[in-house]
């Protein structure tokens, strides 16, 4: 592939433009690749896409996922125990890209990229059809390390912003690409019974500065919460509840049935 081939409209921008025309909020779902196997993950991604998920986050298993709660930590452990690594994740993404319409982004830790080699990593993302990267341990202030590759390969770094960001919100939001990942509350990922964040003020500050859609994640697990939180912004991100749905079942058919049921329940919050 020559560099010029990478310059196209990013699928994330295309999808959110479609949602804006339709007047609809986004449903974004997450899974840990390799839990229980890479083959099941490929089926799950295709199932999510067929069920109308708007964007899919592919969690790259890591031995110390500092931003994640017990559900995703355990999924990472199972995936790593089965030998899932970044090479297998890339191979799977490239294999299914032609069958999946939804944008796909990696959620991964920076060390994985450094070990792979930064330019080689971005080039591989472009070749495999990965549209963006969520990197919990590479904050906005250090994003200059990869900014040149983001531009060259058109693979966005998706910035995270939290209620604790305060005076950083203006800089983060005004420089965001694709969409903003708005963390619902302090702490790690995992299902929550209630949220104590002042979302009205949080999203008012974000919308003041952001030129891209803002989507909220961390702790959202059902259609009612999707409806409640996405009313403040442009969409909802669901991780642990989806990981649990895939994990609950003894066969691929059972897992996909549980996943479909969970997605359809989540979609009641945006329809």
Joined together, the tokens standing for residue 139 give 């904050």
Query: Which residue(s) pair with 216 in the sheet?
Result: 182, 236
Q: Determine the Cα angle at 54 with ends 49 and 55, to 5°.
A: 85
Contacts of 190 (CB under 8 A, 6+ apart): 68, 69, 70, 71, 72, 218, 219, 240
First-to-last CA distance in the chain? Answer: 40
Which token pair is 26?
């986004």
Give 39-43 contacts, CB < 8 A, sequence gap 24+.
39/252, 40/246, 40/252, 40/255, 41/92, 42/92, 42/95, 42/96, 43/252, 43/255, 43/256
Q: Which of 13, 35, 54, 57 is catalytic?
A: 57
Strand partners, 79: none
| Per-residue DSSP letter, 134 | E
Are the C-beta atoms of 186 and 67 separated by less than 8 Å? no
| Identified catalytic residue from 68, 76, 131, 234 | 68
C-alpha pair distances (Å), 205 with each of 87, 139, 199, 210, 235 = 39, 19, 10, 9, 17
> Catalytic annotation on 224?
no
Cα separation, 157 vs 146, in Å, equals 8
Active site residue 68: yes
Active site residues: 57, 68
């Amino acid at each position: 592939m020559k560099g010029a081939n990478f310059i196209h409209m990013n699928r994330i921008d295309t999808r959110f433009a479609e949602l804006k025309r339709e007047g609809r909020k986004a449903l974004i779902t997450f899974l840990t690749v390799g839990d229980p196997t890479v083959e099941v993950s490929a089926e799950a991604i295709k199932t999510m896409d067929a069920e109308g998920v708007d964007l899919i986050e592919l969690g790259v298993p890591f031995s110390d996922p500092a931003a994640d709660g017990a559900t995703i930590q355990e999924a990472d452990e199972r995936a790593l125990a089965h030998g899932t690594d970044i090479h297998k994740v890339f191979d799977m993404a490239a294999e299914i890209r032609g069958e999946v319409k939804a944008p796909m982004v990696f959620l991964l830790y920076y060390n994985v990229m450094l070990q792979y080699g930064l330019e080689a990593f971005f080039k591989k993302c472009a070749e495999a059809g990965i549209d963006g990267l969520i990197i919990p341990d590479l904050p906005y202030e250090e994003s200059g390390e990869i900014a040149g590759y983001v531009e060259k390969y058109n693979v966005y770094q998706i910035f995270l912003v939290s209620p604790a960001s305060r005076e950083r919100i203006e800089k983060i939001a005004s420089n965001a690409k694709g969409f903003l990942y708005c963390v619902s509350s302090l702490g790690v990922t995992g299902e929550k019974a209630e949220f104590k964040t002042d979302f009205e003020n949080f999203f008012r500050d974000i919308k003041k500065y952001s030129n891209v859609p803002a989507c909220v994640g961390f702790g959202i697990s059902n259609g009612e919460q999707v409806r409640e939180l996405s009313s403040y912004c442009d969409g909802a991100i669901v991780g642990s509840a989806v990981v649990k749905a895939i994990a609950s079942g003894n066969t691929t058919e059972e897992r996909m049935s549980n996943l479909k049921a969970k997605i359809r329940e989540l979609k009641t919050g945006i329809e």
